[in-house]
């Protein structure tokens, strides 16, 4: 570096320093749960101390066998060279607390004089600058858009939205100018507004009301590039395995948007590329990294953690040379405030006594370490801070109360959720609350693997004995369906379907997520298990309000609901939902006919279904022009055809469905004995489309050989169909054959009268006009056909009636 550069660098250095100092209010490490609970005696001081022993990573050097006191440790530094800006690294090493207020990293150079510090910093920074690892390749596919160099094209407005909505502000500071939609205050909020602080503390409500401080970001623009911050947000655990910063399941562009927002004040910085640095300086840095014990908390350059310091159990409480009491050369220094110091001392005082803490404590301790309490309340502790609640919003601002916007309380969760379901919630694969804008973060398995079982163990120990799932009562499907229809459907979707405007937890998966006992008790008395829930009880005082279902037995009814939900995939949905769904997608012809081109089992992949207000409908096969199927009652549901990606075939909704004779209705036969041709034969059956008349009725247009056919079918007065076939003869008729109509086909076809036959499916087909002679029956290979010779000079019309 030449002199000018040095001068500029030091100026910048001084400037930033001044700025960050001004912004500082304290210079002690910030541990969210400690800060929130310990000073107010929400937790015992010694418990807070234990939290610090782990969160400040004291135990990274002062080893302990106590499992829960294992150190948080710091970020991986393998990629520090490209992830972090060199100037920031140097400043941070010089004064960690000033550079990143609240950092849990101690000042490892505290014992050095300024003239010793500078070369050490230069060496450590050189070593860290040499730490490069490639960024992971972000996989793209049809569901994951990954634009070219996506980290550079984030949009700060979208980033601002996401930052304030998805959950970042549960721990970090919201912006002053971010506007939240007005959330109606809950009655308790209103009450609290009116009380003064002492009254609140006296009522034991302090923790619910106190503002919760933010985990400071530090000077992000000085630290990161857009790229390194984007990649960090995409997968925090890859950099910070401790899981204290969980991933919010961001897509690549979402991460880029948030990075753009967080670095909005940054002048474009270039990412540091591997530089040829002084080899000896780097080696010196590497040596210091090892010697100063950095490797106890950080991985970099394959350096193994050193032997560490005196084990935790052997430390003296009154040691005047401790890491927080004194600044000693070669030792890290923590600047702790009074309460932090007291807490650590209290915790250490407990150690020799071997004071054991129970599982109950263990769960709470884990939740403090991971700051689950930032979002979740459990047994009166924690939950979204009152000053942060406004940022927790419901999708589209539907009013669902706090349940619809605040992450759920976890009191008794081990009794409620199955361990498997809890696991899925923690690893981010089960998202059951689509109405919350805040996202349940994804925690790395290493940070939370013990939690699900611990919750279960603790919560079930205090609960009444497990309730066995009762057998399904007789008629449980119909009963469950009806029971859910009274009340449940007003707030819960099922199988992704719901009444209009309903958002909430889909009940499709509830039986695989929650324990039966909890489900049972919750239905009986929701508010007892979940205070302030909006879920009403449908069994006041344990009594069913539906005495006509399953003899009014509460237990039987709850069992029926459970078993119905368990199998809801294969049963019809509750009536009201079915009805709501059909309003969106069921085609109900009123005046004019409704047409739908679709796939149908009965009419093939070229089906054209036509529905009439008279509630008689048919489908025409336009591939091989024929009337394929007819039915009465309801027509069709169009959702599959209109909007479902897998394009399921449309299913007639009505009843009395009749499949009409396969094969063509008209054919030219060379001689009377010739077998009736199929569509595969050489004769040309060419569909040419259709015309709609002023009534909206389609007339199908097709050719049979050289004959042009217009085929119009409508309901008749007897609940059947009338088909008018208008046939236009070619100018030059084929001399080799005559045109025939095959009206009906059956294994046992019977003549009703001279123009009418009935087959074994009770299909009666009658023919009038346009035909030469009465119908003739003939039987070929076990199949009897009713044939009419068609007389066409120029044009003729045949009327065919179908009754079934």
List interacting residues with other proteins (CB under 8 A).
140-150, 152-153, 155, 253, 268, 270-271, 273, 495-497, 500, 584, 594-599, 605-606, 608, 622-623, 638, 641-647, 649, 687-693, 698, 701
Q: What's the token pair of residue 390?
A: 């406004």
d(CA 769, CA 413): 77
Of the pair 543, 644, the CB lying nearest other proteins is at 644
By C-alpha distance, which of 257, 207, 186, 205 is closest to 406? 186
Q: How far is the CB of 667 from other proteins (least distance, A)?
A: 20
210 and 386 in contact (C-beta within 8 Å)?
A: yes
CB atoms near residue 170 (< 10 Å) = 24
Q: How far is the CB of 79 from other proteins (least distance, A)?
A: 16
Distance between terminal CA atoms of the chain? 97
Q: Enumerate residues 6+ apart whose C-beta is below 8 A from 474.
A: none
Of the pair 103, 622, the CB lying nearest other proteins is at 622
Degrees to nearest 5, angle at CA 238 with 234 and 243:
90
Of the pair 330, 689, the CB lying nearest other proteins is at 689
Of the pair 314, 691, the CB lying nearest other proteins is at 691
Q: How far is the CB of 639 from other proteins (least distance, A)?
A: 8
Of the pair 361, 585, the CB lying nearest other proteins is at 585
Of the pair 426, 608, the CB lying nearest other proteins is at 608
Of the pair 544, 622, the CB lying nearest other proteins is at 622
Each residue of 561-593: b (16+ CB within 10 Å) or e? bbbbbbebeebebbebbeebbeeeebbebeeeb
Q: How far is the CB of 658 from other proteins (least distance, A)?
A: 21
Q: How far is the CB of 532 from other proteins (least distance, A)?
A: 28
d(CA 68, CA 542): 43
CB atoms near residue 141 (< 10 Å) = 7
Q: Enumerate residues 6+ apart whose C-beta is below 8 A from 780.
A: 675, 676
247 and 442 in contact (C-beta within 8 Å)?
A: yes
Dihedral angle computed from the Cα positions of residues 7, 9, 11 and 15, in that order, rounded to the nearest 10 degrees: 180
Q: How far is the CB of 655 from other proteins (least distance, A)?
A: 24
Q: How far is the CB of 768 from other proteins (least distance, A)?
A: 28
Q: How far is the CB of 623 from other proteins (least distance, A)?
A: 7
340 and 347 in contact (C-beta within 8 Å)?
A: no
HEC secondary structure over 105-159: CCECCCCCCHHHHHHHHHHHHHHHHCCCCCCCCCCCECCECCCCCHHHCCCHHHH
Of the pair 342, 495, the CB lying nearest other proteins is at 495
Of the pair 290, 394, the CB lying nearest other proteins is at 394
453 and 419 in contact (C-beta within 8 Å)?
A: yes
Q: How far is the CB of 128 from other proteins (least distance, A)?
A: 19
Of the pair 348, 596, the CB lying nearest other proteins is at 596
Q: How far is the CB of 606 from other proteins (least distance, A)?
A: 5
Of the pair 140, 681, the CB lying nearest other proteins is at 140
Q: How far is the CB of 554 from other proteins (least distance, A)?
A: 33
515 and 466 in contact (C-beta within 8 Å)?
A: yes
Of the pair 41, 647, the CB lying nearest other proteins is at 647
By C-alpha distance, which of 269, 263, 237, 216 is closest to 82? 269
d(CA 484, CA 406): 25
d(CA 408, CA 410): 6
Which ranges of 627-670 would DSSP assign to H, the alpha helix?
A: 639-643
Q: How far is the CB of 692 from other proteins (least distance, A)?
A: 5
3-state secondary structure of 527: helix
Q: Enumerate residues 6+ apart whose C-beta is below 8 A from 563.
A: 472, 473, 476, 480
Q: How far is the CB of 756 from other proteins (least distance, A)?
A: 33
Q: What's the token pair of residue 729?
A: 């003869």
3-state secondary structure of 92: helix
Q: What's the token pair of residue 92?
A: 């941070």
d(CA 49, CA 39): 11
Of the pair 381, 608, the CB lying nearest other proteins is at 608
Q: What's the token pair of residue 493?
A: 């979707």
Of the pair 150, 740, the CB lying nearest other proteins is at 150
Q: How far is the CB of 456 from other proteins (least distance, A)?
A: 32
């Amino acid at each position: 570096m030449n002199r000018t550069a040095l001068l500029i660098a030091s100026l910048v250095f001084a400037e930033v320093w001044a700025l960050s100092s001004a912004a500082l209010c304290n210079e002690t490490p910030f541990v969210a749960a400690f800060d929130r609970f310990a000073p107010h005696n929400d937790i015992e001081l010694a418990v807070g101390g234990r939290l610090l022993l782990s969160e400040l990573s004291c135990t990274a050097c002062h080893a302990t066998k106590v499992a829960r006191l294992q150190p948080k440790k710091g970020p991986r530094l393998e990629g520090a060279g490209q992830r972090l800006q060199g100037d920031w690294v140097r400043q941070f090493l010089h004064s960690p607390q000033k550079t990143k207020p609240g950092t849990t990293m101690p000042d490892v150079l505290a014992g050095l004089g300024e003239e010793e510090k500078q070369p050490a910093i230069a060496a450590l920074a050189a070593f860290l600058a040499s730490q490069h690892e490639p960024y992971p390749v972000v996989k793209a596919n049809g569901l994951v858009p990954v634009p070219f160099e996506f980290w550079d094209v984030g949009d700060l407005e979208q980033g601002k939205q996401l930052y304030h909505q998805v959950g970042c502000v549960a721990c970090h500071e919201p912006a002053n100018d971010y506007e939240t939609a007005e959330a109606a205050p809950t009655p308790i909020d209103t009450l609290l507004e009116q009380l003064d602080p002492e009254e609140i503390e006296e009522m034991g409500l302090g923790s619910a009301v106190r503002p919760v401080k933010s985990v400071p970001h530090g000077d992000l623009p000085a630290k990161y590039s857009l790229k390194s911050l984007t990649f960090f947000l995409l997968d925090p655990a890859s950099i910070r395995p401790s899981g204290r910063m969980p991933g919010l399941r961001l897509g690549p562009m979402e991460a880029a948007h948030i990075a753009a927002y967080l670095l909005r004040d940054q002048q474009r910085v270039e990412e540091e590329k591997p530089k040829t640095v002084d080899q000896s300086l780097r080696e010196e840095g590497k040596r210091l990294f090892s010697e100063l014990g950095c490797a106890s908390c950080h991985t970099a350059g394959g350096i193994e953690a050193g032997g560490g310091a005196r084990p935790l159990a052997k430390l003296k409480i009154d040691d005047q040379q401790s890491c927080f009491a004194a600044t000693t050369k070669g030792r890290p220094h923590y600047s702790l405030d009074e309460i932090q110091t007291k807490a650590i001392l209290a915790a250490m005082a407990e150690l020799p006594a071997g004071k054991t803490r129970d599982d109950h404590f263990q769960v709470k301790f884990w939740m403090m370490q991971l700051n689950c309490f930032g979002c979740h309340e459990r047994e009166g502790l924690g939950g979204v801070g009152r000053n942060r609640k406004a940022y927790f919003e419901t999708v589209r601002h539907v009013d669902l109360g706090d349940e619809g916007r605040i992450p759920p309380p976890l009191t008794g969760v081990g009794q409620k959720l199955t361990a498997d379901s809890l696991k899925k919630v923690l690893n981010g694969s089960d998202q059951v609350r689509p109405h919350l804008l805040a996202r349940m973060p994804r925690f790395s398995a290493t940070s939370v693997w013990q939690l699900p079982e611990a919750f279960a163990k603790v919560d079930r120990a205090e609960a009444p004995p497990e309730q066995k799932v009762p057998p399904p009562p007789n008629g449980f499907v119909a009963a469950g369906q009806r029971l859910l229809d009274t009340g449940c459907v007003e707030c819960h979707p099922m199988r992704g379907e719901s009444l209009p405007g309903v958002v909430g937890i889909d009940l499709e998966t509830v039986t695989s997520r929650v324990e039966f006992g909890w489900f049972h008790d919750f239905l009986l008395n929701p508010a007892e298990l979940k205070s302030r829930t909006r879920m009403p009880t449908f069994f006041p005082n344990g009594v069913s309000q539906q005495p006509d279902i399953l003899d009014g037995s509460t237990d039987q009814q709850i069992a029926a609901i459970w078993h119905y939900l368990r199998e809801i995939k294969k049963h019809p949905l509750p009536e009201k939902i079915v009805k709501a769904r059909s309003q969106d997608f069921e085609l109900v012809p009123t005046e004019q006919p409704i047409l739908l081109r679709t796939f149908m089992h009965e009419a093939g992949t070229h089906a054209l279904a036509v529905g009439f207000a008279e509630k008689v409908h048919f489908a025409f096969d336009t591939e091989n022009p024929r009337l394929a199927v007819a039915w009465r009652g309801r027509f069709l549901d169009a959702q599959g055809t209109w909007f479902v990606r897998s394009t399921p075939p449309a299913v007639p909704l009505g009843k009395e469905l009749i499949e009409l004779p396969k094969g063509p209705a008209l054919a030219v036969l060379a001689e009377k004995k010739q077998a009736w041709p199929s569509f595969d034969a050489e004769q040309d059956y060419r569909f040419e489309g259709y015309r709609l008349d002023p009534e909206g009725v389609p007339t199908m247009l097709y050719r049979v050989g050289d004959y042009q056919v217009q085929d119009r079918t409508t309901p008749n007065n007897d609940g059947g169909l009338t088909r008018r076939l208008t046939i236009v003869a070619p100018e030059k008729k084929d001399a080799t054959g005559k045109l025939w109509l095959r009206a009906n086909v059956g294994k046992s076809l019977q003549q009703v009268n001279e123009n009418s036959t009935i087959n074994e499916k009770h299909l009666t087909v009658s023919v009038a006009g346009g035909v030469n002679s009465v119908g003739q029956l003939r039987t070929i290979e076990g199949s009897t056909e009713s044939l009419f010779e068609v007389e066409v000079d120029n044009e003729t019309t045949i009327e065919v009636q179908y009754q079934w």
